[in-house]
Amino acid sequence: MYSVFQSAEVQKLWILGKREEAKVKREEKYVYLTSLGNAIITLTSNLRHAQIPGTMVIPAGQGGLNQESVALCYQIVIIDRQRLQRQLGTLSSSYLQQLEEAMRYTLDLT
């Protein structure tokens, strides 16, 4: 069975640099996937995205998140590692497993 996650570091949540959006600077949160190179999965606090296949909800407090967030597993992006500013926290193994299932669905690896 192929595993998307092959490294112990994949469960780390990171903050990337702030960007201007509607004249308000905001921090962007991502799950950093070290086993896939410099790949990240975007997180959003817009819970309406949870209805889209290939997403999963991560509750507040998990991985250092201060609010409930949705992992958008259909938005896997490769970044320059220097853009990572600070580690926010780590995901538990149960959320890592759910994240892997959502990624398998998105990448059609079932």
What is the Cα–Cα distance from 34 to 13, expressed in whole angstroms? 11
Among 68, 57, 58, 52, residue whose Cα is nearest residue 105: 52
Q: What is the pLDDT of residues 16-63, one digit of tens each?
A: 654 444 444 455 676 766 556 677 888 888 999 999 988 999 999 888
pLDDT-derived band at 7 (thresholds 50, 70, 90) equals very low
What's this model's pTM, rounded to 2 decimal places?
Answer: 0.74
pLDDT at 65: 86
pLDDT at 14: 63
pLDDT at 37: 66
In order of their start, the domains of the chain are 9-107 (2.30.30.110)
pLDDT at 49: 93
Name the DSSP class of 104.
H
Q: What is the mean pLDDT of the chain?
A: 74
What is the Cα–Cα distance from 25 to 17, expressed in whole angstroms? 10
pLDDT-derived band at 87 (thresholds 50, 70, 90) equals confident
Q: Is the pLDDT confidence value at 100 over 50?
A: yes
Q: Is the pLDDT confidence value at 97 over 80?
A: yes
